[in-house]
Amino acid sequence: MDFTLTDEHRMVQYMVREFAQREVAPIIKEYDRKQDMAPFILPRMAELGILGISLPVRYGGQGMDYIALGLACEELEAVDSTLRVIMSVHFGLNSMALLQWGTEAQKEKFLAPQARGEKIACLGLTESGAGSDVAAIASTAKKDGEKYILNGEKMWISLATKGDHALIVARTNPDAPDPHDGLSAFILEMDRDGVTTGDIHGKLGVRAGSTGWIAFQDVEIPLENRLGEEGEGFKIAMSCLDNGRYTVAAGATGLIRASMEASIKYAHERQAFGREIGKFQLVQQKIAHMVQSYESARLLYLRAGWMKNEGMRNTRETSLAKWFATDASFEAASEAIQIHGAYGYSDEYEVERYLRNAKGGVIYEGTSEIHQLMQAGYALEYREDVPLRCELPAYDAESWQIEK
């Protein structure tokens, strides 16, 4: 296991950092206040190739590995969580699922334009009554000849009003003895009749992003748009979360770093009792804990990325990385506000936004409590990963660089 970054990795770091720091950082506070997404962000990310960074070239991607994906997410969230959320949803929760479970025809039709950023994608999993309990999904997809009829509503869907494609999990067999086995997954073109969407405002954090709802009324979905086999929806959803959680872990690591760097800068600038506050031991203690959290979180997500590159199942490792990094990012942002004092409590400095954004990370894509239960289950040998019919493909530099 070698975590030495390649020249390609460093190029990704530099390119994404330049975009985020130079183009987004100067305007993000304005859009956070307006609770709106800056209109140039999605087209610019597409232009830079970020939206297809770790997909094979033959499917419109950049052909880079999963470590590059993690590094990109770290740099994006070091500026604002909304940038990383785009990657988590469009790339981790949707595009990687198509890479893993899609037919060649589905990859050609849906994955390739998503990789190029010509189409934006989201995941429709959560409902008003189904969050951590995925088996409680109430949306239905009833088979009718060569199509399914979709009805229901999804809530808290990032990119709901921006997406062209949505990966929807709905109930196809209400009589299944195990409700998990009654779910199936579908690729939904959002311009179909019967699909309506809306934005949700008034969120604590991630305000410069897009979060909304999707409603379905007798929406027709062709049979060829079903992802995987009927009844595999729960397994597909869990594999989506494995990939999305990896991007969340990497992004939260960037948020820890941003809180640490802001605290170090302010500790040198602020004077109290005749000397800079960085000289006081309790301020040093807070910054030292941020250093510890950053280095630990980074190693955890790099290990998960390495396992993805090797084609190894990484549900346990990715869960641990997500749990640790998101909890640590919330603590780091809180301590950054404490170091900034009253200024940290206002939006004159970035740290108050970091704290608001960080709270989302400990809730979405598996709450911290869910991840604690998962880790205890693995340790006590109560939990065992079920083999999947389609595993995420291991990274292969030569084949992933082959053009169509």
DSSP state of 221: E
Q: Name the E strands within 60-146.
A: 121-124, 140-144
- CA–CA dist 188, 271 (Å, integer): 57
DSSP state of 209: S
Q: How many helices (H) and strands (E) does the chain have?
A: 14, 10
- CA–CA dist 134, 180 (Å, integer): 8
Residues 6 or more apart whose CB falls under 8 angstroms from that of 386 comprise 235
Let me know if 8 is a catalytic residue. no
In one letter, which amino acid is 389? R
Q: Of the residues 74, 310, 365, 369, which is catalytic?
A: 365
CA-based radius of gyration for the chain: 21
Q: How far is CA 52 from CA 56, 79, 364, in A?
A: 8, 20, 23
Which residue intervals of 310-391 are DSSP H helices?
A: 315-340, 351-361, 368-379
Residues annotated as catalytic (active site), given as ranges = 365
